[in-house]
Copies of this chain bind each other. A is one copy, B any other.
């Protein structure tokens, strides 16, 4: 299998590393507009070979992975359309899917290998030097096939994802973009707003000295590659704006309960209920069936089942403890607190 990876940054190089390590007989050709990034990927053995152009990389490829910022995908598709093998599988790694799929179907009409993708892994460091073979272990990898896609093309992309240790979820593009706006794009915008607000304050010299773990965690995403962030935002504007609005409402509601003396009880209940739900979430209570992550799509058999059982036990334990705490608080502790 010959794989062309266009864009050898963090994600592209990590895919290359993982495939070369785990798939026998794979041959990876890398290309990056930034020649230095391609050379680093080559040095790190993330690719077998560096191509001098996107078309050269793609010409013989069975699988093409576009691992570039979202807005670079369209011109890249224009560039390679003429040389793409008719039966090649083409996928991407962008964080917005509606626009990407629209471009793919527009520029490669009738092509039956179009299966867009979104590996939900990353870190704030970027570039091939930060790449890791294990970057996708345990991560979700959303797969968004075009309606024309052959089942075999979907299988190829799914296999790549699972080989790299990810759990796949198939979704349609609109659904993906709405969800990801809430749990990925909004948090990024919230971090940018929080950091830039603090930074712009006249008290920043003092604030920056005092800022500890909480502020650091809450602003980590403000260090996201601005190119990537910009492209994501531009291709998922409406969903992001929608979630910013909902977030603002949530903040204003919290503020109301905080300052309103009548709201103090409500405020406490919100904090306690949120902490309880958060504990459940941390313990792996996710999804519709509320099974611990990892149990359902497991490919590891008994050991994993046991691990799932352990997580469930730990979770039940935590839930019981938290509920007890909440109940106890309601009954007696809360009274004592009213001094």
Contact A194-B244, Cβ < 8 Å, known A75-B339, A218-B217: no
On whether the beta carbons of A169 and B209 are closer than 8 Å, the reply is yes
Complex contacts, A258 vs chain B, CB 8 Å: 189, 233, 237, 240-241, 244
Contact A203-B218, Cβ < 8 Å, known A212-B184, A270-B196: no
A-B contact pairs, 19 of them (CB 8 A): A72-B337, A74-B339, A120-B210, A122-B212, A123-B213, A189-B258, A191-B218, A192-B254, A192-B271, A193-B251, A193-B253, A196-B270, A196-B274, A205-B288, A209-B293, A218-B221, A229-B271, A233-B258, A240-B258
Of all chain B residues, the one with the shortest Cβ separation from A269 is B226
Contact A268-B226, Cβ < 8 Å, known A241-B255, A247-B193: yes
| Additional A-B contacts beyond A197-B250, A209-B286, A222-B278 (5; CB < 8 A) | A121-B212, A183-B211, A214-B221, A218-B218, A244-B254
Q: Does A230 contact B (CB under 8 A)?
A: yes
The stretch among A85-93, A152-160, A174-182, A301-309 that forms the contact with chain B is A174-182
Of all chain B residues, the one with the shortest Cβ separation from A203 is B179
Q: Does A134 contact B (CB under 8 A)?
A: no
Of all chain B residues, the one with the shortest Cβ separation from A119 is B212
